[in-house]
Structure 1
């Protein structure tokens, strides 16, 4: 039984290894290409878009012809009689109902496509931010661990001493608090790493581990966003525009509903009297009389909805323009700040220089604690600015309608 368990575990391990081996992602661009193709929300939106596209074929359908048949039997002075009637009528939509219905379907479909596009863009941008944050967590963990190791070494030395001065006693307690704080923060970072790793794996549509080498490293701060009027391709603005077009088409559709439909077609009547047939042919025409209802209520409602859509379109256009200006200013602020502060390499050099001074023992315990705290705080602040710059870049791309065409 024990041997069987070992074999089953080995098979599971081999199969798991094979699944992970298929996710050998070389770089961040390949990672985000996989997310574009495999993100569950993006795939769902693409599938739903195809379903919405069928609305046009539904709106183009012609009404089916109607067949009416009746038979009557009885007796007359001339003997047994029977009358058989057949009528085939073809509905004809008057007032341009079919073309109005098609226009409304086209605009409604286009509006829904922009809603789905916006949803897909948001999902993709969220995955990008998660990837950058995961790389930051990978870089923060060693800094915390080195700080914890340094403080633990000093704490162990002080714990071995039999007697401590009041100042050293305070230092020992301070070191204990600092090490416990770092342990908690390391644990929190590890939990965050696992959580966002799973989220990123879910965004890929694959069940695999994501290596650190496949994550984006540096933020591209060479981009120069100067055109503040390039927002016409924004999904949010296009959605408002198509919503306005749909409201106009809806009003035309309601106006067309005021016209009655007409039915026209041939009729045949066969009358049999004492075994002899008498046939009659004709044309049947029927049309509703627009006496009590001209669809005025629906037309008033559509008119008010059109007015609301016009107001919404103006508001959204103004909002998108202001949002683009705001995101460009935000990006420029983050870019200038990141250019002036220490880079990742400079930060590492400072870290190594501080560590050498620690090992030489020329720095007080309080200074060691403060130096590590400032180093971690600086790294966290830099990462916060980097993430802000990344978010601003992709929000600008979203407003410009270039999310899926832009490269990392």
Structure 2
């Protein structure tokens, strides 16, 4: 009996261990926040960008529109089905039965090039959807690159801020251990405590920003922070030279506007074609019976609207105004982008010039370590040490902001030059 009880207890604990192991395995294998199964784990920074360009929700939604627009060409190429109509009447003529039967088969012939106009409109819709997809991808690539740089900066800022918090805790602890504080020491303790609380608030803000950036990559690529962290871009050491003149290529935005202008052109052609009537023609057959007599007839039926009241002048006028508006938008956007490119070039050159002349972060940290050692020896005052901590954090934020400004300006220039998909990070 004891053996049976021991066997049952052993089986019970074995099943419990197996179940808990399965739960742990399930939690370990479950991907955080819903990854894209289509994206494999990144092996480079470019893999992360390529994944975002393929599987970002905005890109997927526009790809659906492109696929739908591609089917419009098949729809536009369809010809109207023929129609068949029949009429039958019967009566009585002085005791003689009479009847009439008439059948018509009608084919619709679209005059004025309606079919080619519809096909051209469908193709223009497809091209416009593709151009919009390219414009969306260019913005996704820009956002992905900027967020990659910013995520690396946030990681660096969190590390430096953690060192600052440790320094504050250490100094505050040392001052509190003193049996008695002089007036200056008491003031220093208060200042350090206030600075310590401020640093904790800054740490919370950095955590919030980091979560937003992680969320972007969860949505865009499905990858977790740990999966993309090894491939975050390092601080730029050598900035590329940018030409003063553009390449002459169209930006994604200009391509989209040109596709809209092309769509407006074919819509105008379609409205011109709509001014022409549709000819309906086909064979007719009738049978007339009057008593014992029967007469069969074969002929042609024809219908065509008479353009007596209008020739689609309103539709053509509206389509023509839309075409002029689209052409005006192209000119305005081209001029705006040329001016904006010049401004972005000035920002880029100014930012990179400053970054090349200022001290690197590792040099700043070495200098600050020396100030910390001097403070520990009592050579420098508490206020000087406190200022050095704040300056170190402030300098890193300012330098990171300037670096991100330069990166954004550079990729804006690539976008205006129509090179954003040709250049790799």
Which residue of 2 is the match for residue 171 of structure 1?
A: 188
- Could you give the per-residue CA deviations for residues 84-140 of structure 1, whole angstroms, max 9, x where no partner exists? 211111111112222222223333332332223212221222122111111111111
Q: Does 1:382 align with 2:399?
A: yes
In 2, the alpha carbon distance for the partners of 1:162 and 1:306 equals 84
Q: Does 1:48 align with 2:65?
A: yes
CA contact 1:66–1:90 (8 Å) conserved in 2: yes
CA contact 1:26–1:214 (8 Å) conserved in 2: yes
Which residue of 2 is the match for residue 104 of structure 1?
A: 121
CA contact 1:117–1:235 (8 Å) conserved in 2: yes
Which residue of 1 is the match for residue 148 of structure 2?
A: 131
In 2, the alpha carbon distance for the partners of 1:47 and 1:297 equals 33
CA contact 2:365–2:392 (8 Å) conserved in 1: no
Query: Any residues of structure 2 matched to 1:72-151 within 5 Å, and which?
Result: 72-77=89-94, 79-151=96-168
Shift of 1:208: 6.7
- Residues 354 and 165 (structure 1), Cα distance of their counterparts in 2 relative to 1, 3 Å cut: closer
In 1, the alpha carbon distance for the partners of 2:165 and 2:312 equals 77
Which residue of 1 is the match for residue 43 of structure 2?
A: 26
- Residues 139 and 122 (structure 1), Cα distance of their counterparts in 2 relative to 1, 3 Å cut: same
Please give the secondary structure, in 2, of the residue aligned with 1:173: helix
In 2, the alpha carbon distance for the partners of 1:26 and 1:214 equals 8
In 2, the alpha carbon distance for the partners of 1:173 and 1:365 equals 11
Which residue of 1 is the match for residue 417 of structure 2?
A: 400
In 1, the alpha carbon distance for the partners of 2:375 and 2:52 equals 44
- Residues 206 and 273 (structure 1), Cα distance of their counterparts in 2 relative to 1, 3 Å cut: farther
Which residue of 1 is the match for residue 204 of structure 2?
A: 187
CA contact 2:65–2:129 (8 Å) conserved in 1: no
Q: 1:203 aligns with which of 205, 220, 223?
A: 220
Q: 1:16 aligns with which of 12, 17, 30?
A: 30
**Farther-moved stretch of structure 1 (254-263 vs 100-109):** 100-109
Please give the secondary structure, in 1, of the residue aligned with 2:30: helix
TM-score by length of 1: 0.91
Which residue of 1 is the match for residue 321 of structure 2?
A: 304
Q: Does 1:339 align with 2:353?
A: no
Aligned length: 408
- Could you give the per-residue CA deviations for residues 281-318 of structure 1, whole angstroms, max 9, x where no partner exists? 11111111010121112222222222222322211111
- Residues 360 and 209 (structure 1), Cα distance of their counterparts in 2 relative to 1, 3 Å cut: same
In 2, the alpha carbon distance for the partners of 1:150 and 1:264 equals 94
**Aligned Cα RMSD in Å?**
2.7
- Could you give the per-residue CA deviations for residues 3-26 of structure 1, whole angstroms, max 9, x where no partner exists? 588446413333237999x96533
Shift of 1:47: 2.3
Shift of 1:144: 0.8
Which residue of 1 is the match for residue 309 of structure 2?
A: 292
Shift of 1:75: 2.3
Q: Does 1:161 align with 2:175?
A: no
Please give the secondary structure, in 2, of the residue aligned with 1:73: strand
- Residues 86 and 355 (structure 1), Cα distance of their counterparts in 2 relative to 1, 3 Å cut: farther
Q: Which runs of 5+ in 1 are unaligned?
A: none
Which residue of 2 is the match for residue 264 of structure 1?
A: 281
In 1, the alpha carbon distance for the partners of 2:59 and 2:371 equals 47
- Residues 8 and 288 (structure 1), Cα distance of their counterparts in 2 relative to 1, 3 Å cut: same
Q: Which runs of 5+ in 2 are unaligned?
A: 1-11
Shift of 1:59: 2.2
Shift of 1:355: 4.3
**Farther-moved stretch of structure 1 (249-258 vs 267-276):** 267-276
CA contact 2:91–2:97 (8 Å) conserved in 1: yes
In 2, the alpha carbon distance for the partners of 1:358 and 1:23 equals 51
**Farther-moved stretch of structure 1 (107-116 vs 280-289):** 107-116
TM-score by length of 2: 0.87
- Could you give the per-residue CA deviations for residues 196-246 of structure 1, whole angstroms, max 9, x where no partner exists? 112212110356743421211133743222153325321211222222222
Shift of 1:405: 3.1
In 2, the alpha carbon distance for the partners of 1:394 and 1:283 equals 68
CA contact 1:268–1:281 (8 Å) conserved in 2: yes
CA contact 1:201–1:210 (8 Å) conserved in 2: no
Q: Does 1:228 align with 2:245?
A: yes
Please give the secondary structure, in 1, of the residue aligned with 2:75: helix
CA contact 1:93–1:261 (8 Å) conserved in 2: yes
Shift of 1:141: 1.0
In 1, the alpha carbon distance for the partners of 2:77 and 2:124 equals 14
